[in-house]
Amino acid sequence: MATLRDIKRKINSINSTQSITRTMKMVSATKLRRAQDAYEKIKDYAKKMENLVGRIITKLPKDTHPLLTEREEIKNVLIVAIASDRGLCGGFNSNIGLAVENFIAQNKDKYENIHVYVFGRKVRDYLARRKINIIKERLDVKLVGMDFSEEVASELIKFYIDGEYDKIYLIYTHFESAVKYVVRLEEFLPIMPSEEEYEGDYLYEPSREKIVNAIIPKFLSTKIYYAIVDSQTSEHAARMSAMENATKNCTEMVNTLTLIYNKRRQEGITKEMLDIVGGAEALKGT
Amino acid sequence: MSQLDLEIITPERVLVKEQVELLEAKSELGEFGILPGHIQFLTTVDIGEVRYVKDGKTYYIAAGGGFAEVVNDKILMLLESAEMADEIDIERAEVAKESAEAALKELSPDSPEYKIQETALNKAITRLSVASKKR
């Protein structure tokens, strides 16, 4: 049975854990604000770009651009999974890992090979433990710039053009609000025309081909950039709420333990009193 | 008089979202102007000056490369970078121009670095010339 001193020690240790989680929560809150800023900045641009590209490619005749052409036979599939290097953020990383695992389990029979291109140490470890084929990993991705996403995008484009992969998917966490984030699975390549119909064709200057060739890489790198920023924002939000919960749980535990501690102390005092009274009574008799 | 809905968006921010009467910018083939009633139009935008007229007043923007789309009197410009004339930091542009010029002297025109510096120089010159048109 735990002695008074053991309980006291336990309470102290929980208190110091709580001060750590509280600090981490505050740090995450600041980081969240910064990430959210970056996210808000790129949001409009990324969305308008997506719409514009959607409008342009619905007007293109079929099979004009290799990145827009769906291959008849899909053998090799690449999943780009974006998560983070660090833990202590609830289910953030394992949700991405799970989504990848599920995708592979569901599509195993359809395709010959499914490989993963991974962002973040935690998911890398998660997938490696499950013997999932990782072809490339990017760790320590912090504040990204456009040049970084351009590099990644051109890498992916090369994979597709060289025929190493016939389809590329993107899995990342989408930030909806500070308390809501969802895992998203999107088709990255080939680019699918949007469902909407747009009327009339454009007058192209200098030429349609030139515009399409210029806008597609730009669109893809914007998409990667947006997904990374989106994921980072979600990560900080997830960590913030995980730490908030941890802090709350600490308070609860300290309260319970303090109650036990006081009860136990009172019991000890009562017992000692009884001993003294009993002793005194016994002495009286002699 | 009918007007144009103009939106100029960069990865940094939404720079302009206004009703304007006229827009002029530079494409690969030279300058172009958009007035209400323009045909559906899609073009690349070069580094250079973008002007628009609102309530009879002309506004100047220093633009990096990008794309412009015109549909039903709505203009959408997606630019890599853009600054209003009165926001431009002239000293910084001067420094950028000098360093790009110095770098260009050292490099051979065939190296990939040459292109990057040339673009930087173009941007700096554009920013300086736009800044000088500040109201």
The 3-class secondary structure across B42-103, one letter per residue, is EEEECCEEEEEEECCEEEEEEECCEEEEEECCEEEEEECCEEEHHHCCHHHHHHHHHHHHHH
Give residue A144's domain range: 43-239
Q: Is B35 on the interface with A (CB under 8 A)?
A: no
Could A201 and B40 be called an inter-chain contact, meaning their C-beta atoms sit closer than 8 Å?
A: yes
DSSP A30-67: HHHHHHHHHHHHHHHHHHHHHHHHHHHHHHSPTTSSGG
Look at residue A57 in the predicted model and tell me its pLDDT.
86
- CATH match for B89-131 among 1.10.3470, 1.10.860, 1.10.287, 1.20.5: 1.20.5
Locate tokens 């959408």: which residue? B76
Residue A147 tokens read as 């040049």
Q: Is A202 on the interface with B (CB under 8 A)?
A: yes
Render pLDDT for B17-45 as a digit per residue (tens, 0 to 9).
Answer: 999 999 999 998 889 999 999 999 999 99
Residue B127 tokens read as 């920013």
Could A202 and B40 be called an inter-chain contact, meaning their C-beta atoms sit closer than 8 Å?
A: yes
Amino acid in the structure at residue A101: E
Determine the Cα angle at A65 with ends A64 and A70, to 5°: 95
Q: Looking at the predicted complex, does its ipTM rise above 0.95? A: no
Q: Which of B41, B42, B78 sits opposite A45 (nearest CB)?
A: B78
> Is residue A207 included in any domain, yes or no?
yes
**CA dist., res. A123 & res. A129, Å (int):** 10
**CA dist., res. A70 & res. A196, Å (int):** 19
Find the helix packing angle between A4-59 and A208-285, rounded to 10°.
Answer: 170
For residue A198, the chain B residue with the least C-alpha distance is: B71
Q: Cβ distance A75 to A114 under 8 Å? A: no
Q: Is A210 on the interface with B (CB under 8 A)?
A: yes
- Which three-class secondary structure state does DSSP give residue A28? helix
**CA dist., res. A48 & res. B54, Å (int):** 23
Q: Which of A37, A59, A146, A211 to mutate to test the interface with B (most CBs of B within 10 A)?
A: A211
The mean pLDDT of B76-86, rounded to a whole number, is 91
Q: List A20's β-bridge partners, or say none.
A: none
Residue A120, Ramachandran bin (φ over 0: left; ψ between -120 and 50: alpha; else beta): left
Give the closest residue to A127 by CA, choosing from A157, A161, A104. Answer: A104
pLDDT by 10s per residue, chain A, length 286: 678 899 999 999 999 999 999 999 999 999 999 999 999 999 999 999 999 998 888 888 777 788 888 888 889 999 999 999 988 998 899 999 999 999 999 998 889 899 999 999 999 999 999 998 999 999 988 777 888 999 999 999 999 999 899 999 999 999 998 888 899 999 998 888 776 766 778 888 888 888 998 999 999 999 999 999 999 999 999 999 999 999 999 999 999 999 999 999 999 999 999 999 999 988 887 6
**CA dist., res. B52 & res. B62, Å (int):** 12
Q: Cβ distance B44 to A206 under 8 Å? A: yes
> Is residue A271 included in any domain, yes or no?
no
Residue A169 per-residue DSSP state: E
* Mean pLDDT estimate for chain B: 89
- Residue B86: pLDDT band by 50, 70, 90 thresholds? confident
> Is residue A147 included in any domain, yes or no?
yes
- Which three-class secondary structure state does DSSP give residue B107? coil
Q: Cβ distance A146 to A221 under 8 Å? A: yes
Domain count, chain A: 1
Q: List A119's β-bridge partners, or say none.
A: A82, A138
- Which three-class secondary structure state does DSSP give residue A73? coil
Could A205 and B43 be called an inter-chain contact, meaning their C-beta atoms sit closer than 8 Å?
A: yes
Provide the CA A99 distance to its chain's centre, in angstroms: 11
Look at residue B135 in the predicted model and tell me its pLDDT.
54
Write down the CATH number for the domain with range B4-85. 2.60.15.10
> Is residue A74 included in any domain, yes or no?
yes
Could B11 and A45 be called an inter-chain contact, meaning their C-beta atoms sit closer than 8 Å?
A: yes
List C-alpha distances in Å: A176 to A31, A202, B44. 16, 35, 33
CATH number at residue A196: 3.40.1380.10
**CA dist., res. A79 & res. A156, Å (int):** 11
**Over the Cα atoms of chain A, what is R_g?**
29
Residue B118 tokens read as 């040339």
Q: Cβ distance A151 to A220 under 8 Å? A: no
**CA dist., res. B42 & res. B54, Å (int):** 22
User: Is the pLDDT score of B7 beyond 90?
Assistant: yes
For residue A39, give every residue at least 6 positions away whose Cβ sits within 8 Å of its Cβ, in sequence order, or none. Answer: A175, A229, A230, A233
- Which three-class secondary structure state does DSSP give residue B128? helix
Give the closest residue to B9 by CA, choosing from A202, A99, A41. Answer: A41
Q: Is A260 on the interface with B (CB under 8 A)?
A: no
Q: Is B12 on the interface with A (CB under 8 A)?
A: yes
Domain positions in chain B are: 4-85, 89-131
Q: Which of A44, A211, A222 sits opposite B42 (nearest CB)?
A: A211
